[in-house]
Structure 1
Amino acid sequence: MRYMLTYDLMESMRNTNQWLGASANSLASYPWFSMLPNPVFNWMSAWGQVTERTFERMVAKPDWGIRTFTCEDGKDHLVDIRTVVEKPFGDLIHFHVNGREEQPRKVLLVAPMSGHYATLLRSTVKSLIVNCEVYITDWHNARDIPVSAGKFDIEDYTLYLVDFMRELGPDTHVVAVCQPAPLTLAATAYLAEQDPDAQPLSLTLIGGPIDPDATPTEVTDFGRRVTMGQLEETMIQRVGFKYKGVGRMVYPGLLQLASFMSMNADRHSKAFSDQIHRVIRGEASDHDAHNRFYDEYLAVMDMTAEFYLSTVERIFKNREIAKNEFIVDGHKVDIGKITNVAVKTVEGANDDISAPGQCIAALDLCTGLPPEKKASHVEPGAGHYGIFAGRSWRDNIRPLVIDFMNANSTRPKGPQPANKNAAA
């Protein structure tokens, strides 16, 4: 019961702050106060607007906002977001451009499950939809999943990716962003052994912790400092009565958001202070740079407790992927079995979450892959967000990734790796 009370207390605090913002804005905007030339009312109204919006968007799933796409014929074509595979903890969705010929590249974007929704990759999707058929993993908020749906840990996550890759077929290019990079690598290796014909053509890993110890950061140091018992005691809570997942043990998105904000507290404080002053001066709008960023950044989702804890223990503490000792559904995955899936790693030189060296470690694990099937890129001056959604992605990284896909658009002829299960 203690875990549930803590969860509800956090939600009550969020709700209270949203109410305080709305109340301040309403009170300061009362017409009678316009007769008083006191700037405190303008400041109070601006503070209320920013505060209400800040806390309101913490519990709202952002919309994809991709409704039309201008094709080569100069016309705007409607974009349908279609569910291809539906599962309790996440769906595989497709951005289908109506009236456009099928594009030559089929791309599966593996979105992170690290506290934010898959819409965090909205700009990545927009940049790829230009000349690709884009599919993405749309993970669900754990608070909305009934306990009857069962557990969901990193092994289940990996098997979801296996199912998605099988559904899309072997002519797929997979791009994994951040947290799912090691599990996507494991899923590809799993297919290499269990179902070689379903392997993708290429695998691009962007800013992921394949080997967290290769270049320690504050994130990896935290994983080393705390014990699993401490994490379970301080980070895990039980969903309250307000949501469908009542009773489910989760790592709350609000806690994850607090961790994100604390890493750059001064920068975030200045951003909100500046936004209040922009509102006072009448320079703010619903879709200005501040709101576009924070509408997405502050929208957080809960992760199942078992997924969070198994990620910390098995990926960061025990380094099962880095040591090539990862087990999925009782099967020890051998990354060296990847022999004909081209693998590329992308890192940001200024990435303070998954520092350079952590992701490129994947290439050393692919011992069965010839050198011409391996590639890597470190983007100068780019931070974690920039390597998949910022200017660095648009101007430099995306063209490199597209070229990599084009260079590996067909599978080389020759003997395929044997399916051990079939041989048995």
Structure 2
Amino acid sequence: MRYMMNYDLTETIRVTNQWLGATAEAMGSYPATGLFPNPMFQVIRAWGDVTQRSFSRMVIKPDWDIQSVLNYDGRDNVVSVEPVLKKPFGDLVQFKVQGRPARTRRILLVAPMSGHYATLLRSTVQSLLADADVWVTDWHNARDIPVSEGKFDVDDYTLYLADFIRHLGPDTHVIAVCQPVPLALAATAYLAAEDPKAQPKTLTLIGGPVDPDANPSDVTDFGRRVTMGQLEKSVIQRVGFKYAGAGRMVYPGLLQLTSFISMNAEKHLSAFTNQIIAEAKGEARDNDRHNKFYDEYLAVMDMTAEFYLSTVERIFKQRDIALNRFTVNGTPVDIGAITNVAVFVVEGEEDDISAPGQCLAALPLLTGLPDAKKSSHLEPGAGHYGIFAGRSWRNNIRPLVLNFIDENSGIDGPRRTVNAPAVEKADMKETPLSGARHATPV
């Protein structure tokens, strides 16, 4: 009960701040305030508007908001998001482009489960849709999953990935981003041993901690600084009665968000202060740069306690993947069993979450894979978000990934590639959150 009270107390604080913001906005918006030429009323209204919006976004799953994609013939094709394989802890969703023949590139984008929703990869999806059919792992918020559905740890995550890949077939090209990189590697190795015909055609690993000790960072060192007992006692809570997952042990998204913000408190304070001033002056817009970024950044989800704890223990502390001793429900998974899946590793030179070398550590583990099927790229000057959703991704990395897919697709003939659609021009490294980092290893 102690853990449930902590969870509900955090939610109570969030709701109270949302209410205070809405109240301040209403008070500052009364027509009668126009009789008093005092700018404080505009500041109160602006503070309320920014506060109410910020705290209300924390419990709302963002929409994908991808309406259409530009086709080769210059026409816009409508995009719909459709689940093709539903599971209790996550769905496999397809971005179906209406009226367009199927693309020869079939890409499964493995989204992180690290506190944010899969929509964090919105711009990545949008940039790929013009040239490929795209599927994404859409993980569910643990607070909304009844306890009766059972556990979900790194073993289950790996099996989910194996099932998704198996469902899409052997012509699939898997791209894993950040946290799922080591588990996507393990899932591919698992299929290599258990169901070789279901293996993907290629595997692209972007900025993930295959070996956290290869180049330790502040984030990956976190797993070394605390014991598992300390971690469980300090961050694990039980979902309150308000949600369908009442009673489930989780690592709360709001707690993760607090850690996120505290690591860059000055930058966040400056960003929100500037937004309040802009709102008071009437210069802010509903979909301006600040709101677009924070609507996504503040929307967080809970992770199951067993997934969070097993990730810290097995990936970061014990380094099961790095030492090639990972198991799935007791079955050993040998990374060396991968013999015909081409692997491409992408890292960012300025990545302070998964520092250069951590992801590259995957290639030496692939002892059964010919060197001709191993590739890597270090993007100069790129931070963590830039290598999958920013300028570096659009201008440099995306073309490299598509060329890698084509070279290892087994299909003769050139492919036509168009420029990435115009999405957010500045990568997240250049937003008010410049230098942002994850607060924990996942």
- TM normalised by structure 1 equals 0.96
Aligned to 2:241: 241
Aligned to 2:51: 51
Shift of 1:211: 0.4
Aligned equivalents of 1:352, 1:263: Cα separation in 2: 13
Partner deviation per Cα, 1:151-197 (whole Å, 9 max, x = no partner): 00000000000000000011010000000000000000011111111
Secondary structure, aligned partner of 1:295: helix
Aligned to 1:401: 401
Partner deviation per Cα, 1:291-335 (whole Å, 9 max, x = no partner): 111111110000000000000000000000000000002210000
Aligned to 1:102: 102
Aligned to 1:79: 79
Aligned residue identity for 2:324: N
Aligned equivalents of 1:100, 1:94: Cα separation in 2: 14
Q: Which runs of 4+ in 1 moved over 3 A?
A: none
The answer as to 2:306 corresponding to 1:290 is: no
Matches within 5 A, 1:24-423: 24-410=24-410
Shift of 1:265: 1.6
Aligned residue identity for 1:210: V
Aligned residue identity for 2:229: G
Aligned equivalents of 1:231, 1:411: Cα separation in 2: 49
Aligned residue identity for 2:330: G
Aligned equivalents of 1:23, 1:174: Cα separation in 2: 47
Tell me whether 262-271 or 88-97 shows the greater mean CA deviation.
262-271
Aligned equivalents of 2:312, 2:295: Cα separation in 1: 27
Tell me whether 370-379 or 302-311 shows the greater mean CA deviation.
370-379
Shift of 1:75: 2.8
Give unmatched runs, 5+ long, in structure 2: 413-442
Secondary structure, aligned partner of 1:347: strand
Aligned equivalents of 2:182, 2:257: Cα separation in 1: 23
Partner deviation per Cα, 1:245-294 (whole Å, 9 max, x = no partner): 00000000011111111222211111111111111222211111111111
Aligned to 1:15: 15
Aligned equivalents of 1:90, 1:102: Cα separation in 2: 25
Aligned residue identity for 2:142: A
Secondary structure, aligned partner of 1:116: coil
Tell me whether 387-396 or 68-77 shows the greater mean CA deviation.
68-77
Shift of 1:124: 0.3
Aligned equivalents of 1:162, 1:201: Cα separation in 2: 14
Aligned residue identity for 1:111: A
Secondary structure, aligned partner of 2:320: coil
Partner deviation per Cα, 1:311-365 (whole Å, 9 max, x = no partner): 0000000000000000002210000111111111111111111111100000111
Q: Would you say the 8 A contact 1:201–1:411 is kept in 2?
A: no
Aligned residue identity for 2:323: K
Secondary structure, aligned partner of 1:246: coil
Aligned equivalents of 2:337, 2:75: Cα separation in 1: 46
Number of aligned residue pairs: 412
Aligned residue identity for 2:13: M
Q: Would you say the 8 A contact 1:146–1:246 is kept in 2?
A: yes
Q: Would you say the 8 A contact 1:340–1:411 is kept in 2?
A: no
Aligned to 2:437: none
Shift of 1:411: 8.8
Aligned residue identity for 2:179: Q
Aligned residue identity for 1:202: T
Aligned residue identity for 2:72: E
Give unmatched runs, 5+ long, in structure 1: 413-424
Aligned residue identity for 1:153: D
Aligned equivalents of 1:58, 1:52: Cα separation in 2: 10
Secondary structure, aligned partner of 1:59: coil
Aligned equivalents of 1:397, 1:286: Cα separation in 2: 31
Partner deviation per Cα, 1:192-245 (whole Å, 9 max, x = no partner): 111111111110001100001111111112111111001110100000000000
Aligned equivalents of 1:327, 1:234: Cα separation in 2: 27
Aligned equivalents of 1:265, 1:365: Cα separation in 2: 39
